[in-house]
Structure 1
Amino acid sequence: MTIGNLSHPIKIRSLQLTQDPVTGEMVEDWADLATVWGSIQGVSGREFLAASAELAQTTHRITIYHRDDLTPDMRLVSGSTEYQVKALLPQNDRFLMTVMCEVLS
């Protein structure tokens, strides 16, 4: 993949505890951690059928620059589409990484 293909701005979100200013109650909410550039591709039908049952719901492959702080419990957002991270697949050179995701409805 060439760097020019990383043309989509993608927000990385993490679930964080914050305090409600009115009630003082601690609530969980998604907070933006960073915005990175990436490539978003739909998973083909052949890959869909070949996937294990655990990854059968994976619908998109997102390629971004390698990040050590990205975990499977985070979300990625591009435009109005929100993706749940399912698997992190770093490449051998640790320059780019592939993130297998599922679109949240």
Structure 2
Amino acid sequence: MRAGDLNRRVRIEQRGQGQDDLGQPIDAWAEVATVWCNVRMLTGKETLTSGTDVGTASASIRIRYRTDIANGMRAVVDNVIFNIGAPLPDLAGREYVDLPCTTGSNNG
């Protein structure tokens, strides 16, 4: 994989469980890694949900090969939040992992 193709930084986050000072559970996002990536926007659409226009887009984020990325995590690129689907690793060459993502409908 050519390093020049990986031209953006992506922060991979997972939902973490913790407690505040009073012992109450808090639901927050914890950083797993920050790596270089290539983002390809694939499709976009606009739908009417509960009387509100909602624009969504699907993208593919390619990063170097890793095994610690899972469905349900999120990726943040240039302050845009992407929901990660099932990762698609290059098992033959172990060079990259494609992360199918959606954005626009929620924040993870």
Return closer, same or farther for 1:58/1:97 CA change in 2, 3 Å cut-off. farther
Aligned to 1:15: 15
* Unaligned 5+ runs, structure 2: 45-55
Higher strand share: 2
Matched, 1:36 2:35: yes
Aligned to 2:52: none
| Identical amino acids, percent of aligned pairs | 28
2:15 and 2:28 in contact (8 A); partners too? yes
Q: Distance in 2 between matches of 1:15 and 1:33?
A: 10
Output the CA distance in 1 between the equivalents of 2:27 and 2:17.
5
Alpha-carbon distance between aligned partners in 2 of 1:33 and 1:2, rounded to the nearest angstrom: 23
Distance 1:94 1:6 in 2: 16
Instruction: Provide closer, same or farther for how the CA distance between residues 42 and 27 of structure 1 changes in structure 2, counting only shifts above 3 A.
Output: same
In 2: Cα distance, 1:72 partner to 1:38 partner: 18
Residues 14-58 of structure 1: CA distance to partner in whole angstroms, max 9, x if unpaired? 10111112x21122211111100000011158xxxxxxxxxxx76
Partner of 1:99: 99
Aligned residues: 94
Q: Which residue of 1 aligns with 2:66?
A: 67
TM-score relative to the length of structure 2? 0.78
Which residue matches 2:26? 27
Distance in 1, matches of 2:13 and 2:40, equals 20
The 1-side partners of 2:71 and 2:57 are apart by 13
